[in-house]
Structure 1
Amino acid sequence: MSDDVRRLSDELARDPASRVFVPLGEALRKQGQLDLALKVTTRGLERHPHFPDGHDLLARIAVDQGDLQRAFDEWDMVLRLVPGHHGALRGMGFVCFQQGKLPQAEQYLSDAVARGDTDEGVALALANVRAARAEVRATPATSRAPIDARREVRLPAGTTHDPRFLFADVLSDAEQTAMLLDSGGLVLAGAYVAYDGRDVAQEVGAELSGVTDAARRATRHLALGEWTSIVFETEVGAEVARGARLVATPFASMLDALTRQRGVTAALVVSERDGIVVDSNLQIGQDGDRVAALAASLYRKARLSARAAGMGAVSFMQLEAPGGRLCAVGGGSLVLVVVAEAAVNVGLVRVELLKAIDGLLAAGGNE
């Protein structure tokens, strides 16, 4: 259980009538605990049936569970409570787009933009809907599929105007994928197909929204500026026997090797579970405890995202911002973190970090 979930759960237990059920449900949703998120949110709405944020959250949980009709109904409720609600208009447009109801999708997305929704994903989705409608209008009526009187014509199979295949033309490899998310982790376009054939885009999107939240906190508290990119490499993780415990392994040599790199301002070995510093080598001006807590949270979110995508363990992570970089590798329960200037030689830092993984695994054990 994450610290946020534990804290919010305790707060809700102390005051069952509190509206804290919404951030608690959202935290659970981002962790992929959809059934529990649904239970918490439903119970909260029993006490607060006219709370729009609760219905908005319930709609996003329904999308993650693949229940588009319920999501639409919940967002419709939000609009009744708060006319012009950006999230509801965006969500209803998304549902209609997924269902092939292009005129309705265009209407909802147009309303969102007209009412001041500045999310770039909404503008892109609206352009995509309009392009799809133009394609349908350009298709001779005789070549179209028979129309179901209860719904609009669906998009032609395989067209890049199906939101799941929006990026098909720009991906160079059949094994590559791309997804477009809104700020809440809702997948507006793209897909992520697991090895067993399931589309797990919504699950991955929910986890990735947690990564961006953690990245935003890290760059803000470390004064690096707004983050511009996050990269994490994955591979099949090496399993360490359960029950393994921390052993006396010196970290001084790996920390020294990293801080000798020009532009590196801090190197720390951190417990992923609680963000406690195990060992560190800091330059003047670095707050080790703060760096550790932020980096551990970000790395954990990245690892959960990789797991949701079936990509194996995270072998290397890099967060880039105008004011610097945060790099990390993990081994068992430990994370080796580097804070560096923007101009640092990332290649050399990555090499030293990867060299250290065996040492971390030997010391860290499993979660």
Structure 2
Amino acid sequence: MPTLFTPVTFRSLTIPNRIWMAAMCQYSAEPEGETAGVPTDWHFAHLAARASGGTGLIVTEATAVSPEGRISPYDLGIWNDVQVAAFQRITAFLKSQGTVPAIQLAHAGRKASTERTWVDGGRPITPDEPYGWTPLGPSAVSFAPASTTPEELSAERIREIVQEFADAARRALEAGFEVVEIHGAHGYLIHEFLSPHSNHRTDEYGGSFEGRIRFALEIVDAVRAVWPEDLPLFFRVSATDWLTENPEDDRDGWTADDTVRLAKELHARGVDLLDVSTGGNAPGAKIVAEPHYQVPFAARVRDEAGVPAAAVGLITEPAQAQQVITSGQADAVLLGRELLRNPSWARRAAEELGGQVGTPVQYHRA
């Protein structure tokens, strides 16, 4: 029976353990000029600490495929070669610690052009302010009342964004990443297309379930076509908008049943694992669930779609994480804030549970 410390293999890539780091925005890149979107010493130190702490796989923060795909002007990007060169330093160090480097490719869609979370609560930046721009979306429906109404994407612009994801995947390989994760969650652009809450289109990219998933599938096909056959492709999904679960909320949205259907389609096109989160697309949505609220959605993807899944959200204790794996609810756990509090959480888990993770030789003592 797998444990937190059992290696797991996808295609030709073996990940040394099931303790992974979730993507977490740092809002610490330069907002403009030649160094816009380029990882800095902060990003190196932030990711390197978790690698030397024994984490098996590390996913970078949401990394934009284009300047307008950033959620804030301070996000990382991978739309040019300067960014690629800076990432190479990071991926080389992660690999030297036995950690698998993964990149999350993202387009923020209608949630784009916001401040850093610690500045005015991450308020929207309007197009006429410094560093601001007009967001893009499947429909001209703003994310929140204070948000700028997005420009509705034309079919031609949709095709261009699909190509931007493919180009970003090519650069990710050059940058040294071994896993690409497509960000289809948290109200970012792909999620906006998936959900009827945000997608009001009447063309081939809207309406029915098949229409709303078309954009996601086209991106997966484009990325898989350029990403090496022997390396894995992951997809992050919000399993639900948390609208249909609440009898007091009459808004329509993306559901867990939809996620199971989508998982089968993604897997058939070469997605190797779903990183299962929830929410982010409907302000005011109420979470109606138990404390470990996202784990059951990962379990449904594994059990009903037959697709490997990783669980994330409020997983903080080693015994809790171990139980998620040994019970067969997920193939891996992704930790977020807990790894911010303790970069060596994996080592703590190994000590508590009797497992083993990588330790830098510099920390070995006779």
Same fold (TM over 0.5): no
**Which is helix-richer, 1 or 2?**
1
Using CA pairs under 8 Å that are at least 6 residues apart, name the structure with larger relative contact order, 1 or 2. Answer: 2
Higher gyration radius (CA): 1
- TM-score interval, smaller chain: under 0.3
TM-score between the two structures when normalised by the length of structure 2: 0.26
